[in-house]
Amino acid sequence: MTTMALLYLDLKDAFQTEWCCLCYEMARATLKYMRYFVREGKADGQVWAGLLRSRGLCHRHALVMLRAEVSEYGDGLSTGTLYDWLLDDLLRTIQKEDPGAGQAAWRNIFRRDGEPIPAAQRLAERLTPSGPCQACVHLDEYEASAAWGFQRFVSPSRGEAEFRDGFEAAAPLCLPHFRAVLREAEDGGTLDYLVQAQARKLHDLSRELKEYLRKHNYQYSHEPMGREKDSWRRTLRAFVGQMPDEATGLRGRVVRGRAGDGASPAGGGPPRDGGEGHGPAERERP
């Protein structure tokens, strides 16, 4: 099965959640890639060189790696091996600074008068990453492909009605992914559909949020909350996308129509991350 065919199926699965479908797909793809990364993804020489330049992974992907390794192996051997090497390099970099800069200068590093200490500036510059996080490089490329695929799947002229029907019943795209999809739109019909569908979804969300706020007025506080009870959370997600816990732990998944009950999508468990498509195939740890 091709990468785009798998993306099509994954996005249709994501329509059953309360997430932006591209956020959900990227959470799935991120977890899959980081599982691969802790197994064998660091073996490539170019990746090692990139990790040196970036001083390891970014904050977000380091958190995902921690979860991936613990869930896969129950220990931290792969992470420990990688960061032992990075820590050695970090220590070498710190110790390269000429001690002749003067102990008095280092003792006064927190002084508020005068110019910054040149030795401290040089060291800070050497400690600054000179390249991007290697996971970001890989996943940013996949995210751009996913945005292009989404606009193709919903296109009135090139896509499928079944996919559009699924999207009509799904959560709105978050603002970052809506922008990304708009940048990939290939024709006016696709653009018109995207704008109209997103506007309908945001109008629905706005009504739910206003109902949530109304029921917090003391005059109506006796009325039970319905689906609007988590509209404030879904509105925030519509602006920023994934929340940090969702990005690292794939939490917060609920079946549409059962908001807040903690249910998982049909089938339960984390999103599908096996098989052909995004990222290299995973092998058992030697």
pLDDT at 244 (0 to 100): 52
pLDDT at 184 (0 to 100): 97
pLDDT at 262 (0 to 100): 37
* Contact predicate 134/50, CB 8 Å: yes
**Backbone φ and ψ of 134, nearest 5°:** -65, -35
Cα 46 to Cα 50, 197, 206, distances in angstroms: 6, 42, 47
* Identity of the residue numbered 147: A
pLDDT at 54 (0 to 100): 94
pLDDT at 252 (0 to 100): 44
Residue at token pair 């329509």: 15
19 Cβ contact partners less than 8 Å away, ≥ 6 residues apart: 27, 171, 237, 242, 246, 252, 253
167-183 pLDDT per residue, tens:
999 999 999 999 999 99
* Identity of the residue numbered 14: A
> What are the residue ranges in the chain where pLDDT is below 50?
102, 248, 251-286
pLDDT at 241 (0 to 100): 92
pLDDT at 47 (0 to 100): 85
> Which DSSP symbol is given to 227?
G
254 Cβ contact partners less than 8 Å away, ≥ 6 residues apart: 17, 18, 260, 261, 262, 263, 264
